[in-house]
Amino acid sequence: MEMFIFKCCKKIRGSIYNPGWEYDANALEFCHHRDLNVQSRPFATYKDFERSGVFAAQNDLEQIQKVEEDLLYSTFRRNREKKIKKLEADLQQEKEKSVMELVNGFERIVSQNSSQSRLEEETKKLEEEYSMKKQSMMKDLLETMTSEERAQVAQLIDKHSQQMLALITEKLSLKQDKKSDSGEGSEEEGVDLTRPPSPRPPEFRKSHLYDSPKVFEQIDNHVYAVAQKEHSTFTELVRDLTRNCHNELEKTRALYRWVTWKDLNKLQIDESVNPDSPYGLLRGIKLGTETYHDLFKRLGSYAGMFCEIIQGYSKGAGYKPGMKVEDSRFRNSWTSINIEGSWQFLNCNWGARHVRAHQNSSENLDQWELSEFNYTCDEFYFITEPEDHIYQHFPDDSRWQLLESPISMAEFLKLPLVKSTFFNYGLRFANHYDSIIITNHGVAIIELKMPVLLGFGYTLVPKSKNGDNAPVEGRTMLRIIGRKAIFTVAPPKPGKFYFTIFAKERWDSDSLQSACSFLVKCPEKEKVQRHSFPLVPFFGPTPSLSDFGLLPISHIDPFIVYEGEDLHFRFEINSFAKISHSLQFQGSTEATNIEDFNRFAFVRFRDETTISYQIRCPVRGFYVFSLFGCDRDVSGEETYDCIFRYLINCKFMSKDRRPLPRACHRWFNCTLLDPQVGDINPDKRITFRVCVPAAVDIAMLIDDTWFHFRESSPGIWEGTVVAGRRACGAKIYAKLNRDKSRFSPLLEFRVK
C-alpha cells in the first residue's frame, strides 16, 4: 500500500548554496511517502534467516574469512618487524659512522687538555640527536604502515561483506525456490543483496522514519544487555543484536547503538591476540587498522544490509571557519546504509560520546548499574538529513551528497561551521550566512530560529598569529525575540575574529556545547562601535516567564533606543503573580551624582491582567531593566527569578531628570495623576491627585505629619501638602477596609 501526500515547501538557495528542501507554506512539493511497515523490497526476518539456514552458513563462511584475515594480520606483523629492524639497523650504522668521525676528529687535537671531556659531551649530544631522530622516523614509519594496512583491511572487509551478502541472497533464494516448487510460495520478488542501489537522495526524511529516539527504547535496552555479553563470532553477535528487529530501521539502530555503546578505547589488545577470542572481533579497531565505519559495514553485511563507506573531507577537529580542507588533516570517512531502498547517513565514530553517568541514572536503564563512564550516542549522527550532513562532510563523489542539487567544494567551504548540537536542539538559520561574515557599520548580526526557548553562550576571539587569543568581553549582545535568538557582534577594532555560539537546554545550566562558528571580518576603521555592551548573558524572556503569565505587549524587542522621552512598557500578567523590577545603569556612576537608579523606574498601573512601567533615563549610556517573579521554595521562603531583561541605549538623556515615585505592594488598580515626579521640593505647597477606586480614605505622611485627602469625584482623591524644610521620606497611604483602621502604603516620595 502506498500513499501520496502533498507537502508544503519552499526551495532555499542562498547566494550560491542549495541545501535541499525546507518545508514551508509558500509552495507545494509532491512528496512520495510510504508506510514503513509495507516493505519496498522483500525483507528477511530473523525467522527467515533461521529457517533458511543463513546463520549456520554465515558461521561457516566467517571461519573461512577469519583464516584469510589472520593471514593478512600475520603478514602485517612480519612486514612491521622487518621494516622496524631495517630502520634500526640503518640508524645504528649511520650513528656508528658519525661517532667514528667524531672520535677521529678529536684524535687530531688529543694534545689539548679538554679534548676528552669535550669528546664525552659531543658523544652524549650525538646519542640524544639519534634517539630523537629514531623516534621521529619510527613514528613516520608506523603511520605509513598503518595507513597502508588500513587500506588493505578495508579492501578485505569490502570483499568479505560482498561474500556475506551473496551468501544470504543464495540461502534465501533457495528457500523461496522450495516454497515455489511446493506451491506454498507467493509471487513476491526474492531477496537480492548482490547489487547495491545507486546513490540518490533518500525517499524518506528522518521525521518520516521515526518521531523520536524514544521509539527505540526496547531496541536500545536489548542492545545494552547484549553489550554486556562476550561474543566470539560476528555471526553470534549480529544474531543476538537483531533477534527482536522487525524492519531494516530497527536492525540499523541495533547495530549503531552497539558500536556507539561499546567502550572500545578500554580494550587491551595486542597483535598476538587469539582471533577466536571475544576481543579478536575488535582487534582491528584497537590496532588502528580498522575504523568504526569498517566495523559497522561488517555488522551490516551479517544483517543483510547494504552499507557503503564514503571518503571525503570533513570539518572536524581543528577546523575553523574560513580554512581550506585540501590537505590530509581533514580527510575523513563516514557511512551510508540502505534502509528500505533509500540511502541514509550515519556516523558511528562521531556518534559515540563519552559521558559520565551515575549508577541507576538512566531513565530507560534503571535495572542496570552503569559504570562511572558510559558511551552514549549523538542522535544527530543516526540517520542524518543530507541537507544537514553537507554542513560537515563533503564526499569525493558528489553523488554521495545525496542532494537534489549537489554543491561544489567552494560552496561547502562557505557554509558556516555547524556542530551536531545545532541540529539536536532544532536550531536553524533565519537567513543565509556564509562562514565569513563582513561587518556593516561595525556590527555583524546573526539570527537563529529555535523551536523552544534555549540557553546560549558565545565567545569572540581575535584571529591572531602572535598568540593574543584572549576572548573579547562586552562586544556581543544576545536578544531573544519570540523563537529567535539574535546575536549582534561588534568587534572592538578592525581585524578578524572567530565568533562561536554555544547552546544548552536550560538558560541557567552550566553545560554548554558548541553549536556553530563564523569568521567575522571588520574592515571598517571609522565605524567601529566605541562602547561595549553590558556584561549580561542575554536580553529578553527566560523560561520562567510563562510561570507568571508575563507577555510583553508594547515592546517585544528587548533592545530599545532611548531618545529623551520616557518609555512606557506594558505587559499581560497573571493576577496572582508577584513581580519586582530593577533598573541598573551600566556606566560610571561617580560623575552622575545619582545614588539609586531604581528610582527612575515606576509601576504606573497594575490590575488583574496587565502591568505597566514608566522608565526615565537621566544620563546617557546603557541601562538594564529587569523583571523578576517571586516564587516560594520548599521552606516557604520567597525567591526571585529573572523573567525578562531589556537593554536600553540612552543616546539623549531625559529632558526631565527628576526621579519617579516608587510603587508599593498595594499599588493595585491605582493611578498617579499628579505630580509625575518622586522628589518633593522642601517648604512648598504641592497638590497630589491619585485614582484609588477601592480606597475608603487616603492620607500622606511627611516626616511626622499626616495630610488627609478628599474624594473630589468617585475614586479620585486630592490633597494639598506642605513639605517640611528638611530631607525626609514621604508616603501615600490608603485605608481599604471601613471596618479596619489599618492604612496600607501605596507610593513613596522623597523631600529633598
Q: What is the DSSP string of 396-415?
A: SSGGGG--SS---HHHHHHS
The mean per-residue pLDDT over the stretch 416-420 comes to: 96
pLDDT at 130: 86
Segment 246-266, tens digit of pLDDT = 999 999 999 999 998 876 655
CATH assignment of 662-751, among 3.90.470.10, 3.90.550.10, 3.40.50.720, 2.60.40.10:
2.60.40.10
The confidence band for 26, taking pLDDT boundaries of 50, 70 and 90, is very low
Q: Residue 330 pLDDT > 80, yes or no? A: yes
Segment 481-492, tens digit of pLDDT = 999 999 999 999
The confidence band for 42, taking pLDDT boundaries of 50, 70 and 90, is low
Question: Strand order of the sheet with strand 476-481?
Answer: 428-429, 444-449, 484-489, 476-481
Q: How far apart are CA 654 and CA 221, in angstroms?
A: 65
pLDDT at 362: 39
pLDDT at 725: 82
Q: Residue 74 pLDDT > 80, yes or no? A: yes
Pick 169 or 126 by higher pLDDT. 169
Any idea which residue has 640503518 for its cell?
Answer: 90
Q: What is the CATH architecture assignment of 535-660?
A: Sandwich (2.60)
The mean per-residue pLDDT over the stretch 355-364 comes to: 41
| Paired strand residues for 688 | 719
pLDDT at 261: 84
Encode 315-334: b = buried (16+ Cβ within 10 Å), e = exposed: beeebebbbebeeeebebbb
Segment 694-716, tens digit of pLDDT = 999 999 999 889 999 999 999 99
The confidence band for 358, taking pLDDT boundaries of 50, 70 and 90, is very low
Share of the chain above pLDDT 70, in %: 83
Grid cell, residue 150, equals 588500513
Helix (H) / strand (E) containing 633 = none
Look at residue 310 and give its three-state secondary structure. strand
Look at residue 197 and give its three-state secondary structure. coil
pLDDT at 33: 42
Segment 713-730, tens digit of pLDDT = 999 999 999 887 888 999
Pick 37 or 85 by higher pLDDT. 85
Averaged pLDDT of the chain? 84
The dotted CATH code for 425-522 is 2.60.40.10
Task: State the maximum Cα–Cα separation within the chain, in Å, rounded to a whole number.
Answer: 123
Q: Residue 28 pLDDT > 50, yes or no? A: no
Segment 453-490, tens digit of pLDDT = 999 999 999 998 776 677 899 999 999 999 999 999 99
Grid cell, residue 57, equals 552458513
**Which has the closest alpha carbon to 22: 458, 362, 430?**
430
Any idea which residue has 659531551 for its cell?
Answer: 121
Q: Residue 165 pLDDT > 80, yes or no? A: yes
3-state helix, strand, coil in the chain (%, to 5): 30, 30, 40
User: Do β-strands 728-735 and 307-314 pair in parallel, antiparallel, or remain unpaired?
Assistant: unpaired
Return residue ranges of the chain for CATH 2.60.40.10.
Answer: 425-522, 535-660, 662-751
Q: Residue 235 pLDDT > 90, yes or no? A: yes
pLDDT at 277: 52
DSSP state of 29: E
Q: Residue 185 pLDDT > 80, yes or no? A: no
Any idea which residue has 574469512 for its cell?
Answer: 65
The mean per-residue pLDDT over the stretch 197-205 comes to: 92
| Paired strand residues for 473 | none
Query: CB count, 10 Å around CB of 36?
Result: 18
The answer to whether the beta carbons of residues 429 and 447 sit under 8 Å apart is: yes
Pick 524 or 5 by higher pLDDT. 524
pLDDT at 108: 59
The answer to whether the beta carbons of residues 514 and 499 sit under 8 Å apart is: no
pLDDT at 482: 92
The confidence band for 183, taking pLDDT boundaries of 50, 70 and 90, is low
Cis before 675 (ω within 30): yes
Residue 387, CA atoms < 13 Å, CB-side half-sphere: 17
Segment 435-445, tens digit of pLDDT = 999 999 899 99
Q: Residue 403 pLDDT > 90, yes or no? A: yes
Segment 678-699, tens digit of pLDDT = 999 888 899 999 999 999 999 9
371: Cβ–Cβ under 8 A, 6 or more apart, which residues?
357
Pick 604 or 590 by higher pLDDT. 604
Q: Residue 22 pLDDT > 80, yes or no? A: no
Q: Residue 5 pLDDT > 50, yes or no? A: no
Q: What string of H, E and C letters represents the secondary structure of 347-384? A: CHHHHEEEEECCCCCCCCCCCCCCCCEEEEECHHHEEE
Encode 551-572: b = buried (16+ Cβ within 10 Å), e = exposed: bbeebeebbbebeeebbebbbe
The mean per-residue pLDDT over the stretch 138-142 comes to: 91
Q: Residue 366 pLDDT > 80, yes or no? A: no
pLDDT at 589: 66
The mean per-residue pLDDT over the stretch 564-590 comes to: 89
Segment 608-645, tens digit of pLDDT = 999 999 999 999 999 999 999 987 666 678 888 899 99
Segment 87-128, tens digit of pLDDT = 989 888 888 888 787 777 766 555 555 566 777 777 788 888
Pick 530 or 132 by higher pLDDT. 132
Q: Residue 553 pLDDT > 80, yes or no? A: yes
Encode 148-180: b = buried (16+ Cβ within 10 Å), e = exposed: ebbeebbebbbebbeebbebbbbbbeebbeeee
416-419: long-range contacts at Cβ-Cβ below 8 A with a sequence spacing of 24 or more? 416/321, 416/391, 416/516, 416/517, 416/518, 417/315, 417/319, 417/320, 417/321, 417/391, 417/516, 417/517, 417/518, 418/388, 418/391, 418/392, 418/515, 418/516, 419/513, 419/514, 419/515, 419/516
The mean per-residue pLDDT over the stretch 48-59 comes to: 92
* φ and ψ at residue 452, rounded to 5 degrees: -140, 165
* φ and ψ at residue 354, rounded to 5 degrees: -95, 115
The confidence band for 595, taking pLDDT boundaries of 50, 70 and 90, is confident
The mean per-residue pLDDT over the stretch 71-77 comes to: 93
Amino acid occupying residue 4:
F
Q: How far apart are CA 600 and CA 587, in angstroms?
A: 15
pLDDT at 20: 38
Q: How far apart are CA 553 and CA 545, in angstroms?
A: 14
The mean per-residue pLDDT over the stretch 180-205 comes to: 74
CA distances from 493 to 522, 532, 614 (A): 7, 12, 36
The answer to whether the beta carbons of residues 520 and 437 sit under 8 Å apart is: yes
CA distances from 650 to 526, 588, 616, 713 (A): 21, 14, 10, 39
pLDDT at 137: 92
pLDDT at 432: 95
This prediction's pTM: 0.83
Based on the number of CB atoms within 10 Å of its own CB, is 99 exposed (0-12), middle (13-18) or buried (19 or more)?
Answer: middle
